[in-house]
Amino acid sequence: MVAATFARSQLMHSLTVLTLESAAAPVRLTWLLLTITFTCTDMGCIQSIACNKSRIKRENIVVYDLSATIDHCPTVIEENSPIVLRYKTPYFKASARIVMPPIPRNETWVVGWIQACTQMEFYNTYGDIGMSSWELPQLREGLVRAISDSDGVSYPWYGNTTETVTIVGPTSKPSRFIVSMNDNFYPSVTWAVPISESNTPLLTNIKRDQSFTTWLVALNTTSREKILLHTIKWRMRVDIAVDPSLPLGSRARLVGRVHQDQPRVLTRMEPIPSNAMGRPNANDAQVLMWRPRRGPPLVVIPPK
């Protein structure tokens, strides 16, 4: 078994050494054989049960230059359209440099970012008539703790460009790479009541408060083993006052905070809720409601 794993020149040398040692000291022979077997197993030379078991552990994965920030700039309001107001928040950005140890054969690992929405309030008020609201019913009713914020294609990952790196084994050397992601809000809100046929601007306030948890994860795609590397918490808040009687281009202004709180990198790992690993994502699960001051609420846009 040992001889079959060595090149011809190495084999002849090994056999000579073994013969000389065995004639002089049988105990030494036993030690030498054990050493060779151990070395070969460690190098992946001998196919064994130990080789098939993953040797990737959290302590073997190095994460450095971890960064999680929100741009230090205010939300930008756009009043270019007579139909909708748009606003663009600063970007949440996360990045990390990773060193993965050599990967055993027949294993594929993906390292990257997984994100879930954990809380959302998103209200657009139209004077004393009522308000529209984007809602996540399961989250609002406490049925789940988080909803996937994947791009809707790359579950469970936030995306599949800069957000993830795939390593296909076997690899003989450590793999070094960077994974990064960014996120922000850039929605449109109608000036007029969304269920009305009128285009009369009646929007008076926009208030949004949304929280996320973002995980840096190494995932074995064969065994589905997850290794959590870091957990980040962040929050985005927007408060815009609107005077619909003013000319287009001068109706809206930011009120309250101008800059966002910076993200928190937790000192402990927070587990990923199972429902945050798959469908539906937040974009598909959300519903637009109209909640009048008087009368029952109405679904304007149902979940997908």
At 49 the pLDDT is: 34
Over residues 22-37, mean pLDDT: 34
User: Residue 17 pLDDT > 90, yes or no?
Assistant: no
What span, in angstroms and rounded, lies between the C-alpha atoms of 180 and 165?
10
At 134 the pLDDT is: 97
The residue type at 247: P
**pLDDT tier, 5 (very low <50, low <70, confident <90, very high otherwise):** very low
Over residues 246-271, mean pLDDT: 96
Nearest to 279 by CA among 248, 258, 303: 303
Share of the chain above pLDDT 90, in %: 78
- pLDDT, the chain, mean: 85
Query: pLDDT tens-digit profile of 166-210?
Result: 999 999 999 999 999 999 999 999 999 999 999 999 999 999 999
CB 133 within 8 A of CB 291: yes
**Six-digit token pair at 274?**
């199972």
**pLDDT tier, 54 (very low <50, low <70, confident <90, very high otherwise):** low
User: Residue 31 pLDDT > 80, yes or no?
Assistant: no
User: Residue 25 pLDDT > 80, yes or no?
Assistant: no
Specify the pTM.
0.81
Contacts 24+ apart (CB under 8 A), 18-22: none
Query: pLDDT tens-digit profile of 87-138?
Result: 999 999 999 999 999 998 789 999 999 999 999 999 999 999 999 999 999 9
**Six-digit token pair at 289?**
């409601």
